[in-house]
Amino acid sequence: MRSGEAVMDVNSSITQMYTEYFNKQQVQIPLFRYIKHANYVIFIGIPYDTSIAKMIKTQSEKPDSCHLLLETNSNSFFNRYKKNGYYITEYATVLGNKSIVYLATLADTKEISDSLFNKSEMTKRIILKKK
């Protein structure tokens, strides 16, 4: 977590926003955590009954307007685009234990999105706890 970020309770309006932007596809990604900042929000989802290959396929089937940048490999995808005035980033990766984590962000400005939600920064946000 960064300065100014807070984990918020997930209520019906947050779930509705998440569903509208990120969970209206064949691959189901239930919302796990919601983090709010004055200039952006972060959604953390745990994909259900799917694979990274299926998630990449779903990303590649989105309209062209949903791809300013789409990068994929066998273990992850990173997608960046603009919709409804938000700068949006989606990132999913396979973890060492073979589970998948999904991060989605809505930022108010391109500068925030470019600096905080580029592929390198998104990768750094995922830290596994050691047992």
**pTM for the whole thing?**
0.91
Q: Percent of the chain beyond pLDDT 70?
A: 94
For 6-125, CATH gives: 3.40.1000
The angle subtended at Cα 84 by Cα 47 and Cα 58, nearest 5°, is: 30
In tens, the pLDDT along 4-32 reads: 999 999 999 999 999 999 987 778 899 99
In tens, the pLDDT along 76-107 reads: 999 999 988 999 999 999 998 889 999 999 99
Residue of 111, 104, 70 lying closest to 90 (CA atoms): 104
- CB burial class (10 A; 0-12, 13-18, 19+) of residue 27? buried
